[in-house]
Amino acid sequence: MRTLIRPIGFVDSPFGNDGKVARLAGGLSWFASVELLEIDDDERIKATIIPVQELETRLDDDLSEQWARLTGERAPLRLGQRVVRLDQPQVMGIINVTPDSFSDGGQFQDELAAATAGMKMTELGAAIVDVGGESTRPGAKLVWEGDEIARIEPVIRQLASGGAAVSADTRKADVMTAALEAGAGMINDVSALTYDDRSAALVAQAGVPVVLMHHKGAPETMQERPAYDDVVVEVYQWLEDRIAAAVEAGIQRSNILVDVGFGFGKTVAHNLELMNHLALFHSLGCPLVIGASRKRTIGALSNEAAADARHGGSIALAVKAVEQGVQLLRVHDVAETLQAVKVWRGLRDQALSGRG
């Protein structure tokens, strides 16, 4: 048995509420109450809502550690010479140098087009450009390391030399090595360092940030009837284990980010349940990344809209994530997402100005 803390009862600002509200992960969101989730094995068995001011009377050692992680600041990310602050939501632009990615496959197979698009994302305000050379969409086939390196290495090199902060989206150690040598400053691994047994040591030695993403099954089969007893609890505990494994491998905790893996071995209902509970995952003590952009769940909720017609749904999920303190939004539509984040930030800044 254990208890997890889920922040709820979000408020516009902390003014006039001393001792009654708490700040979420050092960001721009405050909450006035929490839901204490009692867990037995992999399932929630009871939920109790209490005000923040009453929580301190219930804090044992485990809850105290969770509380410290929920409310603690997140250190800035360092990608080479670039620093990405995490006290506000940031956007990570997606560049897939692949022929078969679910949304932009084939769009950026030419390295010049890919690099140009990545630099445009940076100019628009994307904090990071995430470059991948292997599709991990449902049903995708494995790509040989040599082909993956040939796809992404020149693009990363051009982006990095142009001053962009670059992340490499890969699960293979050899590709990680090539990407880092080309100038990438972060690794985004959809397997959470489980696919290649050399990758954890490599990331630890390089001293770069890494995104650990939850998944269930390989891309070829992950959407064949995925099942969970309780998707929120299982994903939380799985990520908790992967963080521990990464730290044991020598990766600094401050360099670890986590992603709940929207769409990776999950049904529409699973994805929506996770989106509704994102704030809970801050108690893992790591920055949160969400990659819901143009995903199939949006189509399922909007008359099977095609991937390139899911902009509105992508923005809705991005704002939902930002409201729950998510630090990095991994998106295809950088300009539109940045506009939504700026409007959200304007609303937040007005509330924090203390003026009526």
Q: Are residues 162 and 178 in the same domain?
A: yes
The number of domains in the chain is 2
Residue partners of 124: CB distance under 8 A and separation at least 6: 334, 335, 338
Q: Are residues 67 and 86 in the same domain?
A: no
Which regions in the chain score pLDDT beneath 50? 102, 105
**Of 294, 295, 296, 310, which one is the catalytic site residue?**
295
Largest distance between two CA atoms of the chain: 59
Helices (H), 260-333: 268-276, 296-300, 311-323
Q: Are residues 23 and 154 in the same domain?
A: no
Range of 110's domain? 77-351
> Is the residue at 356 inside a domain?
no
Given a contact cutoff of 8 angstroms between Cβ atoms, the answer to whether 272 and 296 are in contact is: no
The DSSP letter of residue 110 is: S
> Is the residue at 252 inside a domain?
yes
> Is the residue at 256 inside a domain?
yes
- For the question of residue 330 being annotated catalytic, the response is yes
> Is the residue at 163 inside a domain?
yes
Q: Are residues 169 and 233 in the same domain?
A: yes
Where among 49, 71, 93 does a domain terminate? 71
Q: Are residues 86 and 64 in the same domain?
A: no
Q: Are residues 252 and 235 in the same domain?
A: yes
Write down the pTM of the prediction: 0.94
Q: Are residues 82 and 167 in the same domain?
A: yes
CB atoms near residue 56 (< 10 Å): 11
Given a contact cutoff of 8 angstroms between Cβ atoms, the answer to whether 137 and 190 are in contact is: no
Where among 55, 71, 87 does a domain terminate? 71
pLDDT at 268: 96
Q: Are residues 237 and 143 in the same domain?
A: yes
- For the question of residue 141 being annotated catalytic, the response is no
> Is the residue at 154 inside a domain?
yes
Q: Are residues 168 and 21 in the same domain?
A: no
Query: In CATH, what number is assigned to the domain containing residue 211?
Result: 3.20.20.20
Q: Are residues 14 and 104 in the same domain?
A: no
Q: Report how far residue 351's alpha carbon sits from residue 356's, in angstroms, rounded to the nearest whole number.
A: 8
pLDDT at 105: 47
Name the one residue in this structure whose structure tokens are 């630890």: 204
